[in-house]
């Protein structure tokens, strides 16, 4: 039971001042892999780059640094491409969600975009039986594209409102109080917001030499 669920599950830019030892997140690697997949589509695929240019209102300012970033037109393409990848990964041959009685409950894209509200509970029950991992991926994608995590994250400015922690043991994004002024003792309350800011920070800044060496040593082990 969650008290004040609307408040504690909101993906706002609220902070925690953490105590104790870190623990792994629910969902495992999927929580990291899915944002990587979306960012790879957005920044590296030509169709999305062109749409972001059109969405940009300032020629001299990257769209990811603009307030009110909401290029709605990229959501259907992101949903469609994500579903193609997901269905291939889980060996699904149809885009439609069909129950045991051959009733069509809609398609996976509609579910991600929040357009299957009337049948959502039934779809979730069907997907739990089919594959919990697949359901988790779809729910996370829905949070990104329908519940606005994508827009929320890309509205904030790198090195002004978030950046990687200066503490080597953290290696995650933290909040900034102003340009180049970090709040080292805080962490973002919502785990997906923290993950997404962290990924964006590494995409902008890259890895330093020590981090590269550390990762190579981990791979060797």
Residues 194-205 have a mean pLDDT of 88
Q: What is residue 160's predicted lDDT score, i.e. its pLDDT?
A: 79
Tell me, yes or no, whether 171 and 136 share the same domain.
no
Residue finishing a domain among 155, 171, 191: 155
Residues 96-108 have a mean pLDDT of 83
Q: How many CA atoms, within 13 angstroms, populate the side-chain half-sphere of residue 80?
A: 6
Q: Which two tokens stand for residue 205?
A: 């800044």
pLDDT tens digit string along 108-148? 999 998 888 888 888 888 888 888 888 899 999 999 888 87
Q: How many Cβ atoms from other residues are within 10 Å of residue 5's Cβ? A: 9
Q: Looking at the predicted structure, is the pLDDT value of residue 62 above 50?
A: no
Tell me, yes or no, whether 136 and 161 share the same domain.
no
Is residue 81 in a domain?
yes
* The total number of structural domains that make up the chain: 2
Q: What is residue 67's predicted lDDT score, i.e. its pLDDT?
A: 47
Tell me, yes or no, whether 114 and 44 share the same domain.
yes
Secondary structure of 204-218 as H, E, C letters: HHCCCHHHHHHHHHH
Q: Which two tokens stand for residue 123?
A: 């779809």
Residues 205-216 have a mean pLDDT of 85
Residue of higher predicted confidence among 90 and 184: 90
| pTM for the whole structure | 0.76
Tell me, yes or no, whether 63 and 109 share the same domain.
yes
Count how many residues are written for the chain.
Answer: 221
Tell me, yes or no, whether 121 and 64 share the same domain.
yes
Is residue 6 in a domain?
no
pLDDT tens digit string along 167-188? 767 788 887 766 666 666 677 7
Q: What is residue 63's predicted lDDT score, i.e. its pLDDT?
A: 47
Least confident of 87-91, 101-105, 121-125: 101-105
Domain that holds residue 139: 27-155
Q: CA–CA separation, 135 vs 111, rounded Å?
A: 11
């Amino acid at each position: 039971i969650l008290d004040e669920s609307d408040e504690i599950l909101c993906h706002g830019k609220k902070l925690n001042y953490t105590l104790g030892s870190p623990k792994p997140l629910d969902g495992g690697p999927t929580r990291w892999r899915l944002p990587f997949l979306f960012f790879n589509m957005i920044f590296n695929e030509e169709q999305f780059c062109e749409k972001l240019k059109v969405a940009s209102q300032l020629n001299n300012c990257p769209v990811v640094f603009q307030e009110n970033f909401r290029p709605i037109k990229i959501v259907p393409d992101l949903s469609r491409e994500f579903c193609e990848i997901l269905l291939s990964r889980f060996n699904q041959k149809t885009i439609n969600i069909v129950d045991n009685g051959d009733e069509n409950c809609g398609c996976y894209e509609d579910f991600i975009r929040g357009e299957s509200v009337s049948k959502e509970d039934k779809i979730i029950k069907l997907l739990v039986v089919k594959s919990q991992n697949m359901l988790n991926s779809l729910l996370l994608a829905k949070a990104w594209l329908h519940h606005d995590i994508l827009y929320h994250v890309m509205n904030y400015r790198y090195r002004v409102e978030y950046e990687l922690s200066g503490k080597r043991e953290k290696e995650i994004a933290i909040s900034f109080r102003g340009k180049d002024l970090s709040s080292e003792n805080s962490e973002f309350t919502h785990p997906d917001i923290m993950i997404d800011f962290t990924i964006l920070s590494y995409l902008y800044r890259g890895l330093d030499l020590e981090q590269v060496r550390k990762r190579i040593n981990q791979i060797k082990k």
